[in-house]
Amino acid sequence: MAAPEETEGEERNTAAVAFVLRLARALHSYGYSAQRLEDILSATSDRLGLRGYQFFSTPTSIMASFGSLALQRTHMLRIEPGEVNLSKLAALEQVSYDVARGHVPPDEGSVAIERIVQASSPYGSTVTALAYGAVSGAACQFLGGGMNEIAVATTLGLGLGILALFARDHPRLGGVFEPTSAFLVSIGAVGLARIAGPVSVLIATLSGLIVLIPGLTLTTAMTELATRHLASGTARLSSAFITFLGIAFGVALGNRLGGVAFGVPAPAEPIPLPPWATLAALIVAPLCFTVILRAAPRDTLWIIAAGAIGVVGGRIGAALLGVELGTFTGALAVALASGGFERWRHRPAAVVLVPGLLLLVPGSVGFRSLSSLLERKALAGIETGFSMLITAVALVAGLLIAGVILPEPRLHGDERRPGAV
């Protein structure tokens, strides 16, 4: 018969393993990269006294092993990639730290994880749809659009937001959401260009689809490859490429059918807007990303500040290093600001890092590259694609160097301030 102490130890280990597995599934579902996920799971397992732990993450699965090599037990979790949810990520990280420091037992931590997963979004459907429209209008300003383009892009973004909410309740549409959305947005852009007067269809279409462009996925993939998470990085890179292809196909088909249905719109040059429009877009875009990424309302001002820091840093870098390499300074500035936010506010750096990076990621450049290739402009497509890769590498370099300068305290054993929230 096993001693009571051994039985209690086994029960504690079982509860701890169950907690780590539930934490892994939840964090993965809400957008953690392989590097960050494996780091936090390892740190949590170490604090809980688990031994021989190993983790292997891909975009669709997690393998977790515990115990000595001869007696090791391996768990396999098959996970469907989900949408980024910053408020839930922050809550999940807080639970992991509370359990790891012994403030909450692992079994209670597991219950807390399930409660967080089941929680509803802090924003309603109407606010979310409006955020899609407003962020498309703000992105249009960043891409050089005038008032006509902004009006069309905002209308297209609002329609995309409504379609996205509809797709959440209809999984079959979710499987072809990107190409279907690209088709509808592009054909809508052609039709509205005929109604609203001279409009740059390319800028309006790209702005309307800005939320779908997988620039963040591409950046995460490059980061994983740079940190030797080769399986996850390669899979994520392939996913980004397929998404780009689906969007480009939908746009090409929509443009062609839109031209047949409404007539080919005349080429138009956007009318530049005054400087205050850039400032307004710099506030509106992060505010909308706060809603779309479902960050907690209390983090709104910090997200706006991070977006402004990234854009200003990127423009300063572009003036000094060129457009592509200028992204390096923007990413470095956002990452350092996010690290400072984590140390000061005791909240995960990802809360402000992800929205800040969305204003820098090279997704629009990749879309332009594929569009050029589909139009048989091979040289322009290759040049633009190379520019996208250089921009992505510069962005990743900024993130990695910031991680060396200001490492995340919660993964390196630094204790939080007593009583911090």
Share of the chain above pLDDT 90, in %: 29
pLDDT of residue 8: 46
- 197 in any annotated domain: yes
Last residue of a domain, one of 254, 285, 316: 285
**pLDDT tens digit sequence for 281-338:** 989 999 999 999 999 999 999 999 988 888 888 888 888 887 767 788 888 889 999 8
pLDDT of residue 370: 58
Most confident of 47-56, 165-174, 404-413: 47-56
Question: Are 271 and 244 members of one domain?
Answer: yes
Q: What is the mean pLDDT of residues 227-253?
A: 89
Question: Are 168 and 82 members of one domain?
Answer: no
**99-103, 123-127, 414-418: least confident range:** 414-418
Q: What is the mean pLDDT of residues 208-219?
A: 85
Question: Are 77 and 131 members of one domain?
Answer: no
pLDDT of residue 292: 93
Question: Are 302 and 402 members of one domain?
Answer: yes
Q: Residue 130: which residues within 8 A CB-CB, separation 6 or more?
A: 158, 161
Question: Are 148 and 217 members of one domain?
Answer: yes
**pLDDT tens digit sequence for 26-36:** 999 887 888 88
Residue of 194 and 288 predicted with greater confidence: 288
Question: Are 267 and 305 members of one domain?
Answer: no
Q: How far apart are CA 39 and CA 169, in angstroms?
A: 33
- 418 in any annotated domain: no
Q: Is the pLDDT of residue 192 over 50?
A: yes
pLDDT of residue 126: 92
Last residue of a domain, one of 85, 118, 151: 118
Question: Are 52 and 135 members of one domain?
Answer: no
Most confident of 28-32, 64-68, 375-379, 383-387: 64-68
Share of the chain above pLDDT 70, in %: 88
Whether the CB-CB separation of 271 and 199 falls below 8 Å is answered with no
Question: Are 213 and 345 members of one domain?
Answer: no
Q: Is the pLDDT of residue 10 over 70?
A: no
Which band of pLDDT confidence, cut at 50, 70 and 90, is reported for residue 4?
A: very low
Q: Is the pLDDT of residue 105 over 80?
A: yes
pLDDT of residue 368: 61
Q: Is the pLDDT of residue 216 over 90?
A: no
Q: Is the pLDDT of residue 261 over 80?
A: yes
- 373 in any annotated domain: yes
- 405 in any annotated domain: yes
Question: Are 102 and 38 members of one domain?
Answer: yes
Burial class from Cβ neighbours inside 10 Å (0-12, 13-18, 19+) for residue 156 reads: buried
- 417 in any annotated domain: no
- 39 in any annotated domain: yes
- Residue 106 domain boundaries: 4-118
Average pLDDT, the chain: 84
- 223 in any annotated domain: yes
Last residue of a domain, one of 98, 118, 138: 118
**63-67, 131-135, 167-171, 395-399: least confident range:** 167-171
User: At 58, phi and psi to the nearest 5?
Assistant: -125, 170
Structure tokens at 231: 């399986």
- 108 in any annotated domain: yes
- The full length of the chain comes to 421
pLDDT of residue 364: 54
Q: What is the mean pLDDT of residues 261-290?
A: 87
Whether the CB-CB separation of 254 and 183 falls below 8 Å is answered with yes
Question: Are 278 and 320 members of one domain?
Answer: no
Question: Are 114 and 127 members of one domain?
Answer: no
Question: Are 154 and 200 members of one domain?
Answer: yes
Q: Is the pLDDT of residue 271 over 50?
A: yes
Q: Is the pLDDT of residue 342 over 50?
A: yes
Whether the CB-CB separation of 218 and 361 falls below 8 Å is answered with yes
Q: How many domains does the chain have?
A: 3
